[in-house]
Structure 1
Amino acid sequence: MDKEARDLLNMTDRLESDEAGLVAAGSLAVPGENLDETIKSGTALRVEVACAGKGTVTFTVVSGAAKTAKRVDCTQPMTNGFDFTTAGPSLAIQADSPEEDRVGTAYIMGRIS
């Protein structure tokens, strides 16, 4: 199911074409978290998330005091995006779902230029 979610984001093509602006991309275990401690505070990002399967996933992005959560319906084959500005020298993206074995996840975060 993670591959289905990555396909929704067209991740393979985007990773090849946008290396300079890319901050992080991948799939998350549910529940799970990926952490980047190399980001600078005040970095403006575009975060796009997708999931596949049966259920919902809540994606949460956290940096310092900044936090944004987005609940995604995995039965709807679409991506969900939002802007986020880091507020500290670390960036975490988390995924959580009550249907953890029935969903796959994908995310991509890039700098807004």
Structure 2
Amino acid sequence: MSQPDHERLDNKARRLLGSTGRPSTDGDGFIASGTLAIPGQNLDETIESGTALRVEVACAGEGTVTFTALSGTARAVRRVDCAQPVTKGFRLTTAAPRLAVRADSATPETVGTAYVVRRAD
């Protein structure tokens, strides 16, 4: 897949989350957002241990993506079918002063990804 096609899929996944990838200014507890290379991860080392989070993930394209959120011994995994225009959300309480969000797929060339992390209510 060419770079513009991959960017198009990442943008489609971001739209599913209703996110432009920029922090919200309405006090919704925004922490981080982005897209992920596959296989790949984004790491945030500014989160305090014991923080309750809500992680939302989406993918677009053909295939599935397994998203993993890790913080110390805390771990949450969600598999998402990219052909279905839905998002998956899950909660995670950090067990270390960092959060890694990972993505993996058997078909990395045909999927785009996006995620948003917010403080849980």
Q: TM-score higher than 0.5 here?
A: yes
Cα gap change, 1:47 to 1:34, in 2 (>3 Å): same
Aligned match for 1:52, one of 32, 51, 60: 60
Q: Which runs of 5+ in 2 are unaligned?
A: 1-8
Q: Say which of 8, 13, 19 aligns to 1:11.
A: 19
Name the Cα RMSD after superposition: 1.6
Other structure's SS at 1:7 match: helix
Amino acid at match of 1:29: A
Question: Alignment partner for residue 30 of structure 1, among 21, 38, 41?
Answer: 38
Which runs of 5 or more residues in structure 1 are unaligned? none
What is the CA distance between 1:15 and its match in structure 2? 3.6
Separation in 2, partners of 1:53, 1:26:
17
Residue 110, structure 1, aligned to residue 121, structure 2: no
Task: Provide closer, same or farther for how the CA distance between residues 96 and 19 of structure 1 changes in structure 2, counting only shifts above 3 A.
Answer: farther
Q: Letter of the aligned partner of 1:62 in structure 2?
A: L
Taking structure 2 as the reference length, the TM-score comes to 0.88
SS at 1:42's partner residue? coil
Report the identity percentage.
Answer: 59
1:84 corresponds to: 92
The runs of at least 4 consecutive aligned structure 1 residues that moved more than 4 Å come to 17-20
Structure 2: which amino acid aligns with 1:64?
G
Distance in 1 separating the partners of 2:77 and 2:44: 18
